[in-house]
Amino acid sequence: MDQIVIQDLEVFYRVGVPDQERAQAQRLLLTVELEQDFTLAAQTDDVERTIDYAHLSRRLLGFGDDCHWKLIETLAVDLAAMILREFKPERVAVEVKKFVLPEARWVSVRVRRPP
C-alpha cells in the first residue's frame, strides 16, 4: 500500500486530565500516516486523485479550536475518525506526542484505523 506521511506537525490543543492543564493550549506533535493506492494519481498527475496533504495539514492545525480532551488517547481516536470521514484513506495511523514528563522526551499514543 502507498503512503503519505505528515511527520511531527506542530499543533496547539487543550488536552490533559487536570482542568488547569486544559486551561491553555499546549504544544503537541502529530504524525499521520495515510495508506491509499496512488496509482491513478501518479498516472494522471492530478491532485484531485490523491489525498491533499496541504489541506489535511490545515485541517489538523485547526482541529483543536474550541475543543478539549482529557486523554491523548481520545484525541488520537477523534483525529483518526475525522481523517477517515473527510479524507477517505483506506487506512490511517495517528500518533500524538505530548511533552509532560520532564524525565522523558515525550509520551505518545498511536492508533491505526481501520485495524
**Beta bridge mates, 75:** none
How do residues 29-83 score in pLDDT, each as one tens digit?
Answer: 999 999 999 999 999 999 999 999 999 999 999 999 999 999 999 999 999 999 9
How do residues 93-108 score in pLDDT, each as one tens digit?
Answer: 999 999 999 999 999 9
How do residues 10-29 score in pLDDT, each as one tens digit?
Answer: 999 999 999 999 999 999 99
In which band, very low, low, confident or very high, does the pLDDT at 115 lie, cut at 50, 70 and 90?
Answer: confident
Whole-angstrom Cα distance, residue 38 to residue 90? 11
Say which residues have a Cβ less than 8 Å from residue 56's Cβ, sequence separation at least 6.
6, 32, 34, 83, 87
What's the sign of the alpha-carbon dihedral 26, 82, 106, 3? Answer: negative
Q: Domains of the chain by range and CATH?
A: 2-113 (3.30.1130.10)
